[in-house]
Amino acid sequence: MDELIDSRLSGRTVVLAGATSAAGRAAARALHGAGARVIATGRSAEGLQPLADAGTEVFLADATSLDEMTVLAGQIGPVDAVVPLVGGWRGGGGLAGQSDEDFAALLPALEAVRATSRAFDTALRASGAGRFAIVSSTAVARPLAGGANYAAVKAASEAWTRAVAQGYAKSARDSGEQLRTASVVFRAKSLDPEVLAARLLMLWDTDATALNDRVFDLD
């Protein structure tokens, strides 16, 4: 663990937005244990309590709200990574079963990607090694009728994240500077929180130029 602290995470600030899930708790434990300052957000004080007990800084804030994420960005200072973790799944029933209610319930995942990337854009660009990462699904590559709502939201989230990556690259080119900020997608068929946590620790093992706009399969 000392090697991890010395070489990768020490002094870095990581925001886990919508972090009250098992994936959020696992990521917070791993990042905090490796020496990072971890900030977790959620809409439930009760859901955030286990994270606070484990040494994570917690903020009661809605990851899907640009206003609330912008306020948070102004409160916490420099940031080196942002990972929106709002998720959920609804599906089944073929195309006929893809209800508007289910689609609306899945949209917060996309809304969190949009809100967090926009609110923390300036901070991530200012970091010497900024990272923006989302969790997507292998369903994007092979969407099924019974999961069309879910796959569509994940595909839109990936498209937004890749647009973020292009923005980082263009900004670096326009300024004549080396690219130091990267936006990446992690795909999983069935998300293993510990696998995600381990992969987040590796975000700084690769230069931003090689990392930006990459899609990684967690399976």
Cα gap 27→39, rounded to integer Å: 11
Has residue 114 got a pLDDT over 70? yes
With a pLDDT cut of 70, the percent of the chain lying above it is 97
Rounded average pLDDT over 30-58? 94
- 167: CB partners within 8 A, 6+ apart: 121
Burial environment of residue 182 by CB neighbours within 10 A (0 to 12, 13 to 18, 19 or more): buried
Do the beta carbons of residue 88 and residue 111 sit within 8 Å? no
Phi-psi region of 92 (alpha: psi -120 to 50; beta: other; left: phi over 0): left
Cα gap 60→53, rounded to integer Å: 15
Rounded average pLDDT over 130-153? 96
Amino acid at 63: A
pLDDT number for residue 92: 86
**What does the block give as tokens for 135?**
């969790």
Has residue 74 got a pLDDT over 60? yes
Has residue 176 got a pLDDT over 90? yes
Has residue 7 got a pLDDT over 80? no
Q: Among 6-15, 137-146, 163-172, which is the least confidently predicted range? A: 6-15
Do the beta carbons of residue 125 and residue 72 sit within 8 Å? no
The mean pLDDT of the chain is 94
Do the beta carbons of residue 85 and residue 16 sit within 8 Å? yes
Show the DSSP H helices in 88-136 as ranges: 100-119, 121-126
Has residue 64 got a pLDDT over 80? yes
Would you state the torsion angle of the CA atoms of residues 107, 113, 118, 120, taken in this order, to the nearest 10 degrees?
Answer: 140
Rounded average pLDDT over 145-173? 97
Has residue 3 got a pLDDT over 70? no
Amino acid at 86: V
